[in-house]
Structure 1
Amino acid sequence: MHRSLPRASALLSALLAAAPAFAQDITLPLTARGNEPFWTVEAAAEGLRLSEPEGKGTVQTLPFTQSTEGGSLILTTTDFTLRIDPTLCRDNMSGMPFPFTATLTRAGTDQSGCAGNSAGLLAGDWTVTDLNGTALPEGLDITLSFADGRISGSSGCNRFTGGYELTGEGLTLGQIAATRMACPPPAMETEQAVLAALSAITRFDIGREGTLLLQSDEATTVLSARR
């Protein structure tokens, strides 16, 4: 049995160098999902496992071969092919962003979906550029950092910290705790607006050039940030 299983990152690192700023390296394991019809493919070095509602699909783990085309990774079994493209994907039901676009091809039919880990798009250090659609005043440094279920940063005057949860439906921030240093009125007013914006966040998206868009229930962007 022939299997070609080198790490995808080694094969794709040069090809992904010119990919958009939000892109992550395509590495295994990863999960790809599609809606209407619903399907899930769990891809790991041991093989690919396709699951569909009501027990349909390939329940056993199948060996695969892999190849690349441009910046894309193509995983092929005897039953289906999974193509992973390094382009941002949004779940067509929840709107949740994912780092990769997936295409499942089976019996000559293509089914689209998303792949990868949304948390990787959110994780890291960010500098806020806009608050409620308005650019921040010059000289005011507002930062955000997401890591391991915790958010921290500076609200322009004080430091803050709290927890967050990322689910298939959106982004939820827990109670935010902040230091209580006094600052000049303009900075304090901006800080209160920042903390109010944080409490309103229910989802996130990735905009042009990799901008982080933190949004409320109405999909209104309350904070924009760049790495």
Structure 2
Amino acid sequence: MAPVSVFAAEPQLICFGNEPSWGLQFSEQGRARLLLPEQKPLDYRGRETRLDFLKERAWRGKPASGKGGEVVAFLRESACSDGMSNTTHPVTVRVSLPDSRLLAGCCRIPVSSNATSAPVPIAFEGPTWQLAAPGAQSAGVDASEKRSVTALFEGGRVSGFSGCNRFMGSYTLDRDSVLIGPLAGTMMACPEPQMAIEKAFLGALTGTLRHAISGDRLTLTPATGAPLVFQVEPAPMLQGVNWSVTGFNNGRQAVVGPLLGTTLTLTFDQGQVYGSSGCNTYRAAYTSEGNRLAIGPVASTRKACSAEGVMQQEREFLAAIESVKVWTISGGMLDIHRADGERVLNAIKAAR
């Protein structure tokens, strides 16, 4: 007779990761199944300990067979990107294996799970919150300049885009309240109404505010004045977007804007990146895994442009994009860096 698996119940939470590909499936009654490459599934029995005020829990289990060491899973209710899709999952996980390996990944709630199971709420910390107020995308802002006002709360630091500039500061959580300290930011000047939006937003995002989350929406309510309403920012998409470069690394440790009258662009599409380098058009292969990115070698047309500095800009820009290693998108802005952390370029969605 074939052995009966102790993992008979439907999974209530499925955790997984890459490099290597692995899985840890939790069922009811303190049971879990560990899936590792080129190994038979291993069943565990265990229990969890919760720290509700931190939205964290630890699950510790021993092999159902009675042989082998423990598996410990540390789960935190925070937005998690699996690095392979545009899906944001509700739980971040770290798994300690008996052989001392440490795995990192995300967890999802299966669609087929028991409908009576309570959904895992979105955490205050972790997601990038996008201001839902209409003024942040006001008519009167040129389409190429529209960016969402955002805020990211993580580890006692808040940062984001306030309408014209990047901002950052500190915060302290106290149950359903958050105390936001003085905010600092970049000092770029923008046309109206962006400056008015920024002033109003930063003025409201200060002091003690009550926070409440309903679904994918966050409301911050000050003692006086209108509340700030946010929603979780959509998962970033690198591919299929026409990006207009606002600044690039000129190879002399400076990020500079494109010369007047020139346009630098990137479009990522099915393993190819192409666009305008200011005078010529270019094309290159690219690979992307998670937030890692590699481009090159770059090939371009051979037109010569006589305007001052245009050909030098083109050489510097093409050299810059061949050095990329890491990308992020926040508030609608693409931010690409080298392996040493130095910025390669910034870009926004191009006007259609």
TM-score (norm 2): 0.36
Q: CA deviation at 1:39?
A: 4.5
1:146-176 Cα distance to aligned partner (Å, 9 max, x none)? 2233211000011111222221351111322
The residue type paired with residue 128 of structure 2 is T
* In 1: Cα distance, 2:123 partner to 2:270 partner: 26
Q: Post-superposition shift, 1:180?
A: 1.1
Across the two proteins, how many residue pairs are aligned to each other?
Answer: 149
Matched, 1:36 2:94: yes
**Partners of 2:238 and 2:268 within 8 A in 1:** no
Relative to structure 1, is the Cα distance of residues 39 and 130 closer, same or farther in structure 2, using a 3 angstrom cutoff?
closer
Q: Which of 304, 309, 316 is the aligned partner of 1:193?
A: 316
Q: Which residue of 2 aligns with 1:109?
A: none
With over 3 angstroms needed to count, the CA separation of the structure-2 counterparts of 1:195 and 1:41, relative to structure 1, is same
Unaligned 5+ runs, structure 1: 1-28, 48-61, 66-76, 93-114
Give 1:84 deviation, angstroms. 7.3
Which structure is larger by alpha-carbon Rg, 1 or 2? 2
Contact 1:30–1:42, Cα closer than 8 Å, also in 2:
no
Q: Partner of 1:162 in structure 2?
A: 284
Q: Are the counterparts in 1 of residues 259 and 310 from structure 2 also a CA contact under 8 Å?
A: no
1:134 matched residue in structure 2: 256
What value does the CA root-mean-square deviation take over the aligned residues?
3.5
- Once the two structures are superposed, the pairs formed by residues 53-72 of structure 1 within 5 Å of their partners are 62-64=113-115
Unaligned runs of 5+ in 2: 1-85, 96-103, 130-151, 156-232, 250-254
Identify the structure with bigger relative contact order (alpha carbons < 8 Å, sequence gap 6+).
1
> 2:128 is paired with a residue of what secondary structure?
coil
SS at match of 1:224: strand
Aligned partner of 1:58 in structure 2 is none
1:99-138 to 2 correspondences below 5 Å? 118=236, 120-121=237-238, 123-132=240-249, 133-138=255-260
Query: CA offsets, 1:58-86, max 9 Å, x none?
Result: xxxx2447xxxxxxxxxxx36x6253786
**Matched residue, 2:122:** 83
Aligned partner of residue 262 in structure 2, secondary structure = coil
1:215 shift after superposition: 1.1
Percent of aligned positions that are identical: 27
TM-score for the superposition, normalised by structure 1: 0.54
Aligned to 1:175: 297
Would you say 1:204 and 2:327 are equivalent positions?
yes
| CA 1:211–1:116: 2 relative to 1, 3 Å | closer
> How far apart are the structure 1 equivalents of 2:128 and 2:314?
35
Residue 121 (structure 1) shift: 4.7
Answer 1 or 2: which has greater helix percent: 1
